[in-house]
Structure 1
Amino acid sequence: MAGSSIGTLFRITTWGETHGEGLGVVVDGCPAGLPISKEDIQQYLNRRKPGQSKYTTPRKEDDQAEILSGVFEGKTTGTPISMAVYNKNQRSRDYSQIRDVYRPGHADYTYDAKYGIRDYRGGGRSSGRETIGRVAAGAVAVKLLKELGITVTAYAKEIGGITADEKRFDLEEIFRNPFYMPDREAALKVQEYADRMMREQDSMGGIIECTVQGLKPGIGDPVFEKLDANLAKAVLSIGAVKGFEIGDGFAAASSCGSQNNDAYEYREGGFVKKTNHSGGVLGGISDGSPLVFRAAVKPTPSIAKVQSTAGKDGKDFDLSIGGRHDPMIVPRAVVVVESMAAVTIADGLLMNLSASMDSVKKIYG
């Protein structure tokens, strides 16, 4: 299987299956000398691990990270960083009923059509558990970005059609409710709606917003390696994400130039924008404003409510999916979106070192 790697200089490769021995990632291209610890990685993994509340899968996994290479005496060595998380609570028997059935909303049929074989134990590589490697790599990328004064913050902007009110935004509130929403009132409404969906054996989707602060202008390239294009690929590669927009996004289509254009002004020795309809990227290159994008996350496809499907034998089948599944993907996907943004930006920063002779001279001159 190709396609398990992303990035050019800061490159990550994830590996493993949801019901195999374990999962992990290899991070190649991280500069030597970056302070990193197992605790740094674990802090991020704890945000996506199962069993955090009744609104996530009850599968009990500690998701303890092991750093196998690339770190010595608390700092990166410049060699590939290999990290692993070992599965301890697999229950493959939960999936025996669907081994010959194509689940609605899953990659079962497409895997069979491509490879002629599929791992029916939770979806194998197409499982959301694959994101363990992304988050571990994201923890490294976030640490690198913090050294440069860059922060990446993601949160649930909307769940089940209930939107966080920007007038009530409180970033500290993100970690006070099980939905990672920055609006307490909205989170309480989501909780009520989520309880109803669980009683009805159904699921819900939402929107994750991510903001990057401290990113200087000049990151990204103007053609195929646009910063926003690379962010879109990275975020859309997350299994449950079905849409991506940056800045005003699709709203720009119903706007006009005089509204959508961001006016410049010169302030404190530099150019700044009065507005940020572009979301921090123009011509594929960061413009120095906060980078703001959103990802649309579909409802969890594994639901107990009876669905109509078909099996390999071509016969119709009424399916109720058992096992342990998230009633919503959004809360645990927040840190995944944040991680993929950090990985993409870290790669863009390193790529930018060779953008001009001035940059090269600062290192070698």
Structure 2
Amino acid sequence: MTQISQSPAPRAARSNTGRFIGLATLTTVVALLPLALPNAFYVDVAIRIAILAVNGIALNLLMGYTGQISLGHAGFFGLGAYGSAVLTAHFGWSPLWALLAAAAMTAVIAWGVARVILRLRGHYLAMATLGLGIIISIVLSNETAWTGGPDGMAVDSFSLFGVPLSGERRWYWVFGGLLIGTVILAQNLIDSPAGRALQALHGSETAASVAGIDVGRRKVGVFVLSATVAAVMGSLSAHYAGYINPGIAGFLQSVELVIIVVLGGMASIYGSIFGAVVMGLLPQLLAGYEGWDSVLFGLIMVVTMIVLPRGVVPSLTARLRSTRFGTKGNAPC
């Protein structure tokens, strides 16, 4: 008997249902989590996880869906943070206008840089973005008069229309809302014609060009979007923490974002969230193994990628679908 293949409509319906369930679950967790957090320390950890998750989703749009490698993405996070800090501390700008200006400045810089470096591919692109991140970090360290140099600088508290935003609980709702909003925007982008064009670039830029896609414009656009999101999160994180130093734009922070994307799953929105949770919680859980925490962390990463080479969420999703439908599922979350 000839096996009848599934029609696209049921697959699309399952995809939409899965995304609705994922979003509903995320919203529920964000709404109820404060009830389970006993003190401000745990709320702070949750906030930092949300920051990592938003940055991870933005970077995944660039790396996972479009196939463009970036090893200097923390540099844009640092530009947003220092842009807000400098404008509020040295020029007396309000935090909201400083955030918007820092994001716009970062978008312009990213646009100019992307038009040049995105002509490169593979490890050449990786080296170029790595160099970009290092340049940003060095500039932030050397401009002592404006940035405080290696010692960093204090950042004014954030206020909106004269109302100060203070306390971990209030900031939790800001970053939790941003995380949910980022997920919604990312899902809508991926499902749109522009999102399908980005995924076509990941498959083959030549084929995408033959199909009529403006490859250069699409790559620059997603690079600017990803950098702008990082800048906004950098600005808000600076106001939340009240202090920044050039380390936030360093190479290790960029590697951390790449680990979040790869560990959780390339081309997986919820994979980025899972990766952020792991990167936020695992150092805390391993803190008791002083001297061995880095070794255990690396070992866990290696074993995870060997067992789940496509990333945790896509690999587990594929296995579940394979078990349920008797086929090899291949759809990201």
Give the structure-2-normalised TM-score: 0.30
Q: Report which of the two has the higher share of helix.
A: 2
Larger radius of gyration: 1
Give the structure-1-normalised TM-score: 0.28
